[in-house]
Amino acid sequence: MERLSKVFTCVFLVLFLMLQYSFCEQKLNIVATTTDLADLAKNIGGDKVNIICLSKGNQDLHSIEPRPSMVINIKNADMLIVVGMDLDMWAKSLADAARNSKVMIGSRGYLDVSLNVPKLDVPAKVDASMGDIHIYGNPHYWISPDNGKIILKSIYEEMIELQPANAEYFKKNYDDYLSKLDQNIKKWKEMLKPFAGTKVVTYHESWPYFAEDFNLSVDGFIEPKPGMAPSPSHVLALEEKIKADGVKLILVEPFYDIREAEKIAKDTGIKYIVIASSVGAVSGTGSYLEMFDYDINKIAEALSK
């Protein structure tokens, strides 16, 4: 009898724990393809969300290889946030392999944050003679704090839709972060104001949105066409152009060939700096705000000397 009582107690305890678990508030499982989207989502979701990021900040987002181990992350996701515009197409094969109807393309939990962003460099005609070009326009729109606000809003609205019970919590976090971002944008624009119109050269065509936000002028690229390796003749022509146009600075992301930027800078007598195009790309860029802080300080410092 005593034994039976122990069994009943155990069964009761297990059932009680299961019940507790089922009433427990379930966190929203979010998978983001980039560190930038993950950071923005974390700032809105706080401790009501679990976030997994599929890439690292120091990776070239064009050429990430989807891994089967990533499939499990998407399988358990309630929300999948992608850059879109064909930049992180690898996420589509992962979403297909995960067979999670919550985040399949077109479903409620699939969020392409590019949809509300005004696009730059949308080609009228596309073919491979133009290099690795994106048919929907330049996809590096998150490297713009002004666009960061649009992305933030898209994520916030999606979170509310998926978890209305936490709408108030998400709203407070959204408002707080937006206000912080606005204050920083003002500060950053002030910092780069003296350098308005300055000509820069970038490795890849990643910086048009940033240049538009901060009135910089992108005068050329180390890549002859997007995604193509620089040839000696292109580098020579670019060096001539840098000298003729009075370019002041070369911007390069850490995953491109820094030696090429170094050589061009040396040949032309201008500076080059390695800056972050994603959160975590270089040390000291652990958040979306820190990334712009780092980049803008670096640019201002290089142009002031």
Partner 1 sequence: MHKKIIYMLIIVLSFSVFAQEQAVNNSSTKSAGINLPDISLVGNMIGFSSTDKNALDNNTVFIDEIELGIQGYVAPEIKADVFISFDRGDGSFQGAVEEADLIFQRVAEGLSLKTGKFHLDFGKINRVHSHEWAYVDQPMVLNNFFGADGLTGEGGNLSYLLPLPFFLQIDFGAWRMLADPNQGPDDFSMANIVLSSRLYTSFALTDDSELEFGLSVVSGNGSHYNEFQDDAKIYGLDLTYLLWPASGQRFIFQSEFLNLDRTLPTGELQRYGFYSYAGYQPDKYWEFGARYDLSDNPIPDNERKSAISLILTDKITEMTKLRVQYEYNMESGVHEVFIQAVFGMGPHTHPLN
Q: Which residues bind partner 1 (CB under 8 A)?
A: 56, 58-60, 63, 65-72, 75, 85, 89, 92-94, 96-101, 104-106, 114-115, 119, 122-128, 131-132, 135-137, 227-229, 254-255, 257
In whole angstroms, the minimum distance from the beta carbon of 214 to partner 1 comes to 24
In whole angstroms, the minimum distance from the beta carbon of 106 to partner 1 comes to 6
In whole angstroms, the minimum distance from the beta carbon of 187 to partner 1 comes to 30
Which is it for strands 79-82 and 217-221: parallel, antiparallel or unpaired? unpaired
Instruction: Between 2 and 127, name the residue whose CB sits nearer to partner 1.
Output: 127
In whole angstroms, the minimum distance from the beta carbon of 131 to partner 1 comes to 8
Instruction: Between 90 and 188, name the residue whose CB sits nearer to partner 1.
Output: 90
Instruction: Between 53 and 265, name the residue whose CB sits nearer to partner 1.
Output: 53
Instruction: Between 208 and 242, name the residue whose CB sits nearer to partner 1.
Output: 208
In whole angstroms, the minimum distance from the beta carbon of 23 to partner 1 comes to 22
Instruction: Between 95 and 200, name the residue whose CB sits nearer to partner 1.
Output: 95
Instruction: Between 123 and 164, name the residue whose CB sits nearer to partner 1.
Output: 123
Structure tokens at 84: 């879109």
In whole angstroms, the minimum distance from the beta carbon of 273 to partner 1 comes to 18
